């Protein structure tokens, strides 16, 4: 059911295929770059897709800038750059260590300084309203909370410090025994020291709501056009002009993880992700109404089978249309490591990231 099969050749005699529908052969890009650039030049590809231009530029000693609006493209490029081989078109040759590069999310601008200039009380009120929280100072075992969201307490994290696992551990020791099952923390995206959207300690889920470093003025009054992510292979390059929407709000996702013996197959075990609920969180004036949110708003699911706790390294992906056809189930028989990261992406480009362990896939 997967759209991506990293062993499938996309041209005769080649194993370059990385599962991106519009991928071009490295040999073709090599001929183009050799004839049009020289060593040390900067190569720009504004519709980078699977990243072949940047991959070949790196191998030929050129500098590169790759740009794309699709999340699948971004994570495909990142994986290819981390798994380079020296020879053009050779995926089994001598490894090539890439030069340092930066993954930059345009839209999370650093020049606004709106949050930094706000006084403490103004900042707390602003971000609470931004996430549609109910304002209301209260304390849990002496720890100050600033509001509530969905009947759960909300803490606005100090924008001058870093939100780390150690802070979560200390917070849990103080309030963990006195809250229901969840607590929200609001923090600027630049101060969050981990990739997950939530951290579980004991039976408590600490959910992090990230704020971009700049906020578009009058966010609730501006008529944003949402840049939609593709739900199928045929839509991979269908993007629209849009006003940048730089607010990070993960969609609501409810899932089950398990393993089972598949019917009609010779294998003993398949891993299964069953998506029970999926709903994007929409802000702004133009809210999209869905007849079936799970079937219409899920764009892509991407998985890193052996997450190292730092960098997401794409292993598999599936588009929303195929997931819907398969009864909202994703299955695979490849082995996984102790931890895997799963990224659920809605059609507006918002991500929900989860890190789960191999133990979470209980046998059915």
Q: What is the pLDDT of residues 23-41, one digit of tens each?
A: 888 989 999 999 999 998 9
- pLDDT tens-digit map of 175-211: 999 998 999 999 987 789 988 889 999 999 999 988 7
- Residue 220 belongs to a domain: no
Question: 258 falls in which pLDDT band (50, 70, 90)?
Answer: very high
Higher per-residue confidence, 233 vs 132: 132
- Residue 219 belongs to a domain: no
Span 53-62, average pLDDT: 93
- Per DSSP, the three-state class of 200 is strand
Question: 53 falls in which pLDDT band (50, 70, 90)?
Answer: very high
201 DSSP β-pair partners:
204
pLDDT above 60 for 173: yes
pLDDT of the residue at 116:
63
- Residue 221 belongs to a domain: no
- Per DSSP, the three-state class of 220 is coil
- Residue 224 belongs to a domain: no
- Residue 228 belongs to a domain: no
Same domain, 238 and 178: no
- Residue 223 belongs to a domain: no
Same domain, 253 and 176: no
Same domain, 94 and 130: no
pTM given for the model: 0.62
Task: Give me the torsion for CA of 91, 93, 94, 97, rounded to 10°.
Answer: -10
pLDDT of the residue at 234:
61
- Per DSSP, the three-state class of 27 is helix
- pLDDT tens-digit map of 63-115: 999 998 778 888 888 888 888 888 888 777 888 888 888 877 654 433 345 56
pLDDT above 50 for 223: no
Same domain, 276 and 187: no
Higher per-residue confidence, 245 vs 316: 316
Higher per-residue confidence, 137 vs 17: 137
Same domain, 194 and 262: no
Low-confidence winner among 17-21, 126-130, 230-234, 320-324 (lowest mean pLDDT): 230-234
Q: Are strands 182-188 and 204-211 parallel, antiparallel or unpaired?
A: parallel
- The candidate with the shortest Cα–Cα distance to 337, out of 308, 311, 363, 301, is 308
pLDDT, averaged across the chain? 82
- Measure the CA–CA gap between 190 and 8, rounded to whole angstroms: 38
Same domain, 348 and 269: yes
Residues with Cβ within 8 Å of residue 225, at least 6 apart in sequence = 240, 241, 242, 243, 286
- The candidate with the shortest Cα–Cα distance to 10, out of 48, 73, 52, 53, is 52
- pLDDT tens-digit map of 263-304: 888 888 999 999 999 998 775 556 778 999 999 999 999 999
DSSP 104: -
Same domain, 81 and 137: no
Structure tokens of 298? 């899920």
Same domain, 125 and 183: yes
Same domain, 339 and 314: yes
pLDDT of the residue at 237:
53
- Measure the CA–CA gap between 8 and 11, rounded to whole angstroms: 9
Same domain, 78 and 144: no
pLDDT of the residue at 244:
40
CATH number at residue 40: 3.40.50.150
Number of domains in the chain: 3
Task: Give me the torsion for CA of 332, 333, 334, 340, rounded to 10°.
Answer: 50
Same domain, 196 and 254: no
- Residue 264 belongs to a domain: yes
pLDDT of the residue at 236:
54
Please report the beta strands in 141-281, taking only residues with DSSP state E, as ranges in sequence order: 143-149, 152-156, 182-188, 198-201, 204-211, 252-260, 270-279
């Amino acid at each position: 059911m997967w759209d991506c099969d990293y062993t499938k050749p996309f041209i005769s005699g080649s194993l370059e295929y990385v599962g991106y529908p519009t991928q071009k052969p490295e040999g073709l890009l090599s001929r183009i770059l050799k004839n049009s650039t020289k060593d040390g030049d900067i190569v720009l590809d504004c519709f980078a897709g699977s990243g072949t231009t940047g991959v070949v530029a790196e191998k030929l000693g050129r500098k590169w800038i790759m740009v794309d609006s699709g999340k699948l493209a971004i994570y495909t490029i990142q994986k290819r750059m981390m798994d380079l081989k020296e020879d053009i078109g050779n995926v089994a040759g001598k490894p090539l260590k890439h030069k340092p590069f930066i993954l930059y999310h345009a839209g999370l601008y650093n020049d606004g300084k709106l949050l930094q200039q706000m006084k403490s009380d103004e900042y707390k009120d602003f971000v609470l309203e931004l996430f549609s929280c109910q304002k209301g100072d209260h304390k849990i075992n002496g720890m100050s909370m600033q509001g509530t969201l969905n009947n759960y307490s909300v803490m606005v994290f100090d924008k001058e410090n870093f939100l780390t696992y150690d802070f979560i551990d200390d917070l849990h020791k103080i309030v963990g025994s006195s809250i229901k099952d969840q607590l929200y923390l609001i923090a600027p995206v630049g101060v969050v020291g981990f990739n997950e959207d939530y951290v579980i300690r004991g039976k408590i889920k600490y959910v992090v709501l990230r704020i971009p470093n700049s906020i578009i003025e009058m966010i609730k009054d501006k008529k944003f056009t949402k840049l939609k992510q593709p739900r199928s292979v045929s839509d991979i390059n269908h993007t629209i002009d849009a006003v940048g929407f730089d607010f990070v709000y993960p969609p609501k996702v409810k899932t089950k993880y398990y393993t089972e013996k598949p019917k009609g197959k010779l294998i003993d075990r398949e891993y299964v992700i069953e998506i029970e609920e999926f709903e994007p969180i929409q802000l702004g004036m133009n809210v999209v109404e869905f007849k079936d949110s799970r079937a219409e708003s899920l764009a892509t699911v991407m998985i890193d089978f052996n997450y190292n706790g730092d960098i997401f390294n794409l292993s598999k992906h599936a588009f929303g249309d195929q997931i819907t056809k398969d009864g909202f189930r994703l299955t695979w028989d490849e082995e996984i490591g102790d931890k895997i990261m799963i990224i659920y992406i809605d059609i507006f480009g918002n991500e929900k990231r989860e890190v789960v362990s191999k133990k979470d896939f209980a046998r059915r």
